[in-house]
Amino acid sequence: MPYPASELILNPDGSIYHLKLLPEDVADTVIVVGDPDRVGMISQFFDRIEIKKQHREFVTHTGSIGKKRLTVVSSGIGSDNVEIVMTELDAVRNIDLKRREPLPSLNPLKIIRIGTSGSLQYDIPVGSVVASSSGVGLDGLLDFYDTDESRWYPEFCQELKDSLQLRLQPYAVDGSQTLLDGFTTRLIPNVFAGITLTCPGFYAPQGRSLRLAPKILNSIDTLNQFNWNGNRITNFEMETAAYYLFGKMLGHEMLSLSAIVANRVSNEFAPAPEQVVQKLIRDTLDWLI
């Protein structure tokens, strides 16, 4: 049965609604970033750019370095935007948009997130990189999808929920072990593999207080000290767990790489955060090509 027009929303040119992409616009390897300006920071290294599209915060450049074809897409901030990006990237790969029907076989993508993050451990300094072995989501997205919740590490998540005295139920998802091994074995300095916490906001959810006080007191100390069967939380940001959740549910390989621009335990912030991001971009491209 074809997907109705109200569910699979297409633009007049047949492209998917938010991203404005057609199947031929998307390479097998996709780099996702939060900041739309970072798309150009990456595509400047392309030998050739064949596609540039933009709609709202969603900017896409597709091109190549040598024989390697790459797509770069921006999501904007937050896991709600990640849901749109991952669902629509999957749609252009795995749905016949003209017939509005699923394709007969899965066409998986290799997706790498490049973003920024704050460290929750003294030994993960500003200027380093965390390659997320797992993502832990506090965003609530899992509640809206029909899935077996036993897949998402319920014991670990219950322990975290109790430690933070949360009302919502976290979820935890592993990234691609193949991509993680491929990146971390390149002997790039100051790369740590770890568990990344994805927060639904930048201020109170990440322990910041301006004119509004956070409900969870001393959350940075709690997260710094949290340990479950030898597993600690290394860093936090706002997208990784959602990417891992949709990657796992939809059948795509996913790895999140975070440039550490702040250490929330030592209260440090990188004096030149974009330089940290630029180095991560160059290291990632060198790895992919």
Same domain, 154 and 62: no
Looking at residue 79, its pLDDT comes to: 97
Same domain, 226 and 282: yes
Looking at residue 49, its pLDDT comes to: 98
Percent of the chain residues past pLDDT 70, beyond the cut: 100
Instruction: Give how many domains the chain has, as a whole number.
Output: 2
Q: Of 78, 107, 136, which marks where a domain is finished?
A: 107
**Residues 210-221, mean pLDDT to the nearest whole number:** 94
Same domain, 2 and 126: no
Sign of the torsion angle spanned by Cα atoms 184, 84, 281, 252: positive
Same domain, 96 and 162: no
Same domain, 264 and 136: yes
Q: Of 88, 107, 126, which marks where a domain is finished?
A: 107
Same domain, 101 and 189: no
Same domain, 123 and 100: no
25 is in which domain, residue-wise?
1-107
- First-to-last alpha carbon distance for the chain, in angstroms, is 40
Q: 183-208: per-residue pLDDT in tens?
A: 999 878 899 999 999 999 999 999 99
Q: 12-23: per-residue pLDDT in tens?
A: 999 999 999 999
CATH number at residue 2: 3.40.50.1580
Q: 141-152: per-residue pLDDT in tens?
A: 999 999 998 999
Question: How far, in Å, CA of 23 to CA of 263, rounded?
Answer: 40
Q: 230-243: per-residue pLDDT in tens?
A: 999 999 999 999 99
Max Cα distance, the chain (Å): 56
Same domain, 181 and 270: yes
How many beta carbons lie within 10 A of that of residue 146, not counting itself?
5
**Residues 38-50, mean pLDDT to the nearest whole number:** 98
Same domain, 248 and 289: yes
The pair of structure tokens assigned to 228 is 């479950």
The pLDDT confidence band at residue 245, using thresholds 50, 70 and 90, is very high
User: Is it the case that residue 119 has pLDDT exceeding 90?
Assistant: yes
